């Protein structure tokens, strides 16, 4: 349900935010983004906004339904309550706005909206946006400087806590907000100059001791943020087109987040979590907390705040000794320990001194065998240890200086964010908890979110700024676009609820398989007894039959069979020996045949953080052969489930080998093929919290090779850690253009770029940095041989509702596939829209927010909206429409595959380097980056560079 992504690097699986964090209720396995809309509305009496809803299609509601956790009644939030469109959306002023825009000079960068979409059945929705009223007066913006500056970053939060207790600052608390770092905003003028001395003391101390460090907090006036300018912008006045609302919007976000920042736990920039009433366990030592996301959004004639439910993983509180004993019950070893990722996520409070510290590491020696004697705790603190010999000490120091304490004196505090990637089982548990029906999430926002966030009843400083928030969800107009027709070489695909079955169809173009191998990876579970196991023979026969039936040409002879038995993880914790064994087996067999197989089918007994990425690196980088994995737990199942599983794997095989699974009909492709067009997807993935500091980010550029828009090979690069803008986009785009030229004997006339992963605050940065590199790529192809200057028409699109009536909702109360919204919650001057092309399989469905930031192709609203929707049905590895246009989705997948090649840096089991001095830390980052770049080498093997290896 969230509508923007915050600023800076963001994460899907480790791209800048904790991978243990989840927006509540992902509606599909596909990445879901943007704003959440709830179900369908548009009863016929609502003639003022498009003639009503029309007849329902697909699966609708139809009466009370039960749900998880006792949830019952209607699936629709506030069903039966009036849902009229506000006057600003029904008075015709939107069309007047478009007329005004057409009178202005058109320019390609940040194009004005050319019109509103018309294709589809008109409906109405409730959205998790809430109208905000702001006062007329200005907001005063201040810069904060703190001195002395040595090691200040680690202390800023505590300094701001102490600042709020200062007699000079305390009287202003009712009308100020701050970011706990360098910015304060105020509803009233603060005295100037304002320099406040803050004696420092830790939170376990009653007050400052003798000779404390005194920090001077200097608050300097920077600017006045004029609400009048914002109101002119919201009204769409032509002279406000160049106005930047972000400084004022970010100030209002600070105001709304001030209360939850002091009562909850912040994760990322704008998500706040609160202790659960009852524990929601995800696995050993980890539990889920529910939280809420807030973001202020400017829309036409109305400021909104978007509020959403989200979930994140936290360390289960309790005594650390109990946690060690509990974990040791399921592991072997002389001294109990904990997974490093879990230990490093812990914030503990010492029982004898009350200090709050982070755990640096679990020691390997007991209290009695460590530097101190047990009596040290008994004499000064009157403590006799219960476990002086059978529990390890805990290091709560730094990399430079260890500070050991007995584990039983450590209490794990609530609110310790789990800062590592969840395992498969933990992820499944999180999804189960997060995937609530729309009505449940809507009620959580209104009943729990608003009080927790201090929005109802209103808490300071919101009321101090004169802000008022409507507690009723916004009602917005929308449309429902019908699905495109699909084409296979034989058989019919009937689309229902954005999905279809392929059991009785043949691929549009089946790949030709000359030879293939099977690699059985035995990993302690003995799911395959050996090469002669009948279950293995049956699985291989069924898979061969499935590939042939789907339209691929595959030999009837049995594939070469390779079996490798791996040492247990207890003897090979990083699985380096296991990967060496697999490498050796593959290379030995390659030496026995004249050519490499087209692919190796890898059968896995387990999934861990090492074997899968290790094999992908072997195939993609070292050897240059496609690898396709099956989980034996899924493949060796009952015949009906196995057939569906093998069908899904066949989709990947055909795509990897250059085949085409299906096509769209001519009508759906018209917007793409009226001129020679290349669609480009761009994304960047960043190292997550569990990575070594300095690990590079990975950039991917994918592009189609012909007019079918099915095959999208990729270019990959490593670049500066956590940098979102691409460093080598020119070279990567040239690679893609040359491949297109080799296939089509000409370069494309138009290029559509879909850029994923960029926040709204970075739109202009894309135009400043990446647009320049794209244009440079065009210039590089203006050679003598081509005779003419190459300059295609370019478009860049950034990718980044509760029902009113159950008759027009799906069975969960979600909006149905094809829902598009371009009024009510969209930007004022932006050419943007929200699209939900996919079906919500579980939980609350999400739409994707698309914004056209550069356009030389004069795209209309209907063209980009319907075109993006229809193209979402071309995703190669599923028989479903997906939530993100495939070009951008493929770029994301390519980035994720690139992570496999740097797995040893992204999954860091070494002792943390936290606590180093600034210079040492920076040097270490440089060393890590250099080592990672060396490990990356030339990247993809040459034999993989023109294939969809990542699918």
Tell me the percentage of the chain whose pLDDT exceeds 90.
70
Handedness of CA 590, 593, 595, 599 (dihedral sign): negative
pLDDT at position 595: 96
pLDDT in tens, 585-607: 999 999 999 999 999 999 999 88
Structure tokens at 728: 């080598």
Q: Are 808 and 37 in contact (CB under 8 A)?
A: no
Determine the average pLDDT of the residues in 45-54. 28
> Is the confidence at residue 386, as pLDDT, over 70?
yes
Q: How confident is the model at residue 833 (pLDDT cuts 50, 70, 90)?
A: very high
CA distances (Å), origin 939, targets 583, 619, 645, 720, 888: 18, 12, 31, 16, 21
> Is the confidence at residue 787, as pLDDT, over 80?
no
Give kind and range of the element (H or E) at residue 741: helix 729-744
Determine the average pLDDT of the residues in 415-432. 89
Structure tokens at 622: 């070292």
pLDDT at position 570: 82
Contacts of 294 by beta carbon, 8 Å cutoff, 6+ apart: 253, 256, 257, 260, 270, 272, 305, 306, 307, 308, 453
> Is the confidence at residue 807, as pLDDT, over 60?
no
Radius of gyration of the chain, Cα coordinates, nearest whole angstrom: 29
Determine the average pLDDT of the residues in 310-319. 94
Strand partners, 801: none
Structure tokens at 297: 């959004």
Give kind and range of the element (H or E) at residue 698: strand 697-703
> 102 exposed, middle or buried (CB, 10 Å; 0-12, 13-18, 19+)?
exposed
Would you call 601 helix, strand, or coil by DSSP?
strand
Strand partners, 564: 521
Q: How many Cα atoms sit within 13 Å of 841 on the Cβ side?
A: 14
pLDDT at position 66: 34
Q: How confident is the model at residue 369 (pLDDT cuts 50, 70, 90)?
A: confident
Q: What percent of the chain is helix, strand and coil (3-state, nearest 5)? A: 30, 25, 45
Give Cα 43 to chain centroid, integer Å. Answer: 35
Taking alpha carbons only, the member of 803, 864, 841 closest to residue 56 is: 803
pLDDT in tens, 104-154: 888 999 999 999 999 999 999 999 999 999 988 899 999 999 999 988 988
Determine the average pLDDT of the residues in 706-728. 97
> Is the confidence at residue 877, as pLDDT, over 70?
yes
Structure tokens at 273: 């979590």
CA distances (Å), origin 86, targets 36, 477, 616, 669: 19, 10, 53, 37
Determine the average pLDDT of the residues in 358-385. 70
> Is the confidence at residue 325, as pLDDT, over 70?
yes
Taking alpha carbons only, the member of 749, 715, 718, 744 closest to residue 732 is: 715
> Is the confidence at residue 875, as pLDDT, over 50?
yes
Rounded to whole angstroms, the Cα distance separating 253 from 243 reads 18
Q: How confident is the model at residue 56 (pLDDT cuts 50, 70, 90)?
A: very low
Handedness of CA 802, 805, 806, 810 (dihedral sign): negative
Q: Are strands 183-186 and 214-225 parallel, antiparallel or unpaired?
A: unpaired
Q: How confident is the model at residue 64 (pLDDT cuts 50, 70, 90)?
A: very low
Tell me the percentage of the chain whose pLDDT exceeds 70.
88
Q: Which residue has the tokens 């001194």?
A: 353
In 399-515, where do the E strands start and end?
A: 404-406, 410-412, 468-469, 474-480, 486-487
Q: Are strands 516-522 and 560-565 parallel, antiparallel or unpaired?
A: parallel
Contacts of 254 by beta carbon, 8 Å cutoff, 6+ apart: 177, 178, 179, 183, 185
Helices 861-871, 666-673: crossing angle, 10 deg rounding? 120
Is pLDDT larger for residue 645 or for residue 640?
A: 645
pLDDT in tens, 488-535: 999 989 999 999 988 789 999 999 999 999 999 999 888 998 899 999
Structure tokens at 176: 């100020």
Cis peptide before 625 (omega within 30 of 0): no
Q: Which residue has the tokens 């005779």?
A: 787
Rounded to whole angstroms, the Cα distance separating 134 from 308 reads 21
Helices then strands, each counted (H, E), the chain? 23, 38
Taking alpha carbons only, the member of 436, 437, 439, 435 closest to residue 77 is: 439
pLDDT in tens, 662-710: 999 999 999 999 999 999 999 999 998 778 999 999 999 999 999 999 9
Rounded to whole angstroms, the Cα distance separating 836 from 28 reads 11
Q: Are strands 599-604 and 516-522 parallel, antiparallel or unpaired?
A: parallel
Rounded to whole angstroms, the Cα distance separating 898 from 895 reads 5
Rounded to whole angstroms, the Cα distance separating 880 from 29 reads 10
In 229-283, where do the E strands start and end?
A: 265-267, 271-273, 281-283
Taking alpha carbons only, the member of 468, 463, 453, 133 closest to residue 270 is: 453
For residues 368-407, b (16+ Cβ closer than 10 Å) or e, as one string?
eebeeebeebeeeeebebebbebbbbbbbbbbeeeebbbb
Q: Are strands 410-412 and 347-350 parallel, antiparallel or unpaired?
A: antiparallel
pLDDT in tens, 1-43: 333 333 333 333 333 333 455 554 433 333 333 445 544 333 3
Determine the average pLDDT of the residues in 313-326. 94
pLDDT in tens, 223-270: 999 999 999 999 999 999 989 999 999 999 999 999 999 999 999 888
CA distances (Å), origin 81, targets 60, 77, 304, 321, 472: 19, 9, 21, 53, 11
Strand partners, 404: 395
Contacts of 726 by beta carbon, 8 Å cutoff, 6+ apart: 682, 684, 699, 701, 717, 719, 732, 769, 770, 773
> Is the confidence at residue 761, as pLDDT, over 70?
yes
Rounded to whole angstroms, the Cα distance separating 606 from 522 reads 9
Q: Are strands 214-225 and 139-147 parallel, antiparallel or unpaired?
A: antiparallel
Structure tokens at 582: 């697999």
């Amino acid at each position: 349900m969230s509508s923007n992504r915050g600023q800076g690097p963001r994460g899907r699986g480790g791209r800048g935010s904790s991978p243990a964090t989840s927006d509540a209720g992902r509606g599909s396995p596909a990445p879901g983004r943007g704003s959440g809309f709830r179900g369908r509305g548009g009863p016929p009496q609502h003639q003022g906004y498009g003639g009503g809803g029309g007849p329902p299609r697909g699966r609708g509601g139809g009466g009370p339904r039960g749900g998880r956790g006792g949830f019952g009644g209607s699936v629709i939030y506030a069903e039966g309550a009036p849902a009229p469109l506000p006057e600003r959306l029904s008075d015709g002023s939107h069309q007047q706005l478009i007329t005004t825009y057409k009178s202005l000079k058109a320019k390609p960068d940040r194009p004005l909206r050319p019109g509103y979409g018309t294709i589809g059945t008109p409906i109405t929705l409730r959205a998790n946006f809430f109208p905000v009223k702001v006062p007329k007066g200005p907001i005063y913006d201040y810069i904060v400087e703190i001195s002395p500056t040595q090691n200040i970053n680690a202390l800023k939060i505590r300094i701001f806590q102490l600042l709020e207790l200062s007699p000079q600052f305390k009287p202003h608390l009712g009308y100020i907000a701050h970011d706990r770092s360098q910015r304060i905003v105020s509803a009233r003028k603060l005295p100037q100059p304002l320099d406040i001395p803050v004696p420092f003391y830790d939170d376990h101390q009653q007050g400052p001791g003798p000779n404390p460090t005194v920090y001077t907090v200097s608050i300097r006036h920077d600017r006045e943020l004029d609400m009048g300018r914002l109101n002119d912008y919201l009204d769409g006045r032509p002279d406000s087109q160049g106005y930047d609302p972000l400084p004022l919007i970010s100030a209002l976000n600070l105001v709304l987040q001030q209360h939850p920042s002091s009562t909850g736990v912040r994760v990322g920039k704008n998500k706040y979590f609160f202790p659960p009433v009852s524990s929601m366990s995800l696995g050993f030592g980890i539990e889920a907390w529910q939280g809420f996301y807030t973001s202020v959004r400017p829309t036409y004639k109305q400021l909104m705040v978007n509020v959403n439910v989200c979930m994140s993983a936290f360390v289960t509180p309790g005594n650390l000794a109990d946690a060690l004993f509990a974990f040791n019950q399921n592991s072997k070893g002389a001294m109990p320990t904990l997974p490093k990722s879990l230990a490093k996520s812990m914030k503990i409070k010492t029982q004898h001194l009350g200090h709050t510290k982070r755990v640096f590491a679990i020691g390997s020696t007991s209290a009695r065998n460590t530097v101190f004697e047990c009596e040290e705790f008994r004499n000064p603190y009157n403590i006799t240890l219960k476990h002086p010999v059978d529990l390890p000490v805990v290091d709560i120091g730094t990399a430079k200086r260890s500070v050991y304490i007995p584990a039983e004196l450590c209490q794990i505090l609530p609110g310790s964010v789990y800062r590592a990637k969840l395992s498969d089982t933990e992820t499944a548990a999180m999804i189960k908890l997060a995937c609530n029906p729309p009505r449940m999430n809507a009620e959580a926002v209104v009943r729990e979110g608003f009080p927790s966030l201090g929005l109802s009843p209103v808490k300071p400083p919101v009321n101090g700024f004169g802000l008022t928030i409507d507690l009723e969800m916004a009602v917005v107009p929308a449309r429902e676009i019908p699905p495109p027709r699909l084409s296979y070489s034989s058989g019919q695909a009937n689309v229902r609820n954005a999905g279809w079955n392929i059991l009785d169809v043949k691929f549009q173009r089946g790949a030709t398989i000359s030879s293939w191998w099977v690699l059985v990876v035995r990993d302690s579970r003995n799911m395959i007894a050996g090469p002669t196991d009948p279950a293995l023979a049956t699985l291989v026969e069924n898979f061969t039959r499935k590939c042939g039936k789907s339209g691929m040409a595959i030999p009837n002879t049995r594939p070469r069979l390779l079996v490798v038995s791996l040492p247990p993880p207890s003897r090979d914790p990083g699985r380096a020996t296991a990967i060496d064994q697999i490498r050796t087996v593959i290379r030995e067999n390659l030496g026995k045949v004249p050519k490499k197989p087209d692919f190796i089918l890898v059968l896995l007994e387990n999934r861990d953080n090492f074997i899968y990425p290790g094999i992908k690196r072997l195939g993609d980088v070292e050897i240059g052969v496609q690898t396709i994995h099956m989980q034996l737990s899924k493949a060796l199942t009952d015949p009906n489930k196995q057939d569906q599983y093998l069908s899904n794997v066949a989709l990947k095989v055909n795509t990897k080998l250059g085949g085409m699974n299906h096509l769209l009909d001519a009508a759906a492709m018209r917007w793409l093929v009226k001129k020679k067009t290349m669609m480009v997807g761009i994304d960047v993935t960043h190292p997550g919290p569990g990575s070594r500091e300095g690990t590079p980010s990975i950039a991917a550029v994918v592009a189609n090779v012909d007019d079918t828009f099915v095959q999208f090979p990729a270019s990959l690069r490593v670049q500066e850690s956590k940098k979102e803008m691409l460093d080598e986009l020119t070279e990567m785009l040239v690679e893609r253009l040359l491949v297109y030229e080799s296939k089509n004997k000409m370069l494309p006339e138009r290029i559509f770029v879909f850029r994923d992963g960029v926040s709204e605050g970075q739109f202009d940065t894309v135009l400043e940095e990446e647009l320049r590199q794209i244009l440079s790529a065009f210039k590089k192809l203006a050679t003598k041989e081509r005779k003419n200057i190459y300059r295609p028409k370019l478009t860049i699109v950034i990718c980044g509702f509760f029902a009113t009536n159950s008759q027009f909702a799906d069975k969960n109360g979600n909006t149905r596939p094809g829902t598009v919204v371009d009024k009510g919650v969209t930007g004022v001057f932006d050419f943007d829209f929200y699209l939900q092309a996919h079906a919500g399989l579980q939980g609350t469905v999400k739409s994707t927010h698309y914004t056209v930031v550069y356009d030389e192709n004069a795209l209309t609203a209907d063209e980009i909206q319907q075109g993006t929707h229809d193209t979402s049905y071309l995703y190669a590895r599923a028989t479903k429409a997906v939530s993100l246009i495939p070009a951008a989705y493929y770029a994301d997948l390519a980035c994720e595959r690139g992570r496999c090649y740097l797995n040893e840096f992204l999954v860091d089991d070494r002792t943390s380097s936290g606590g180093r001095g600034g210079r040492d830390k920076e040097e270490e980052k440089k060393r890590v980056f250099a080592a990672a770049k060396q490990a990356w080498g030339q990247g993809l093997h040459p034999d993989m560079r023109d294939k969809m290896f990542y699918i």
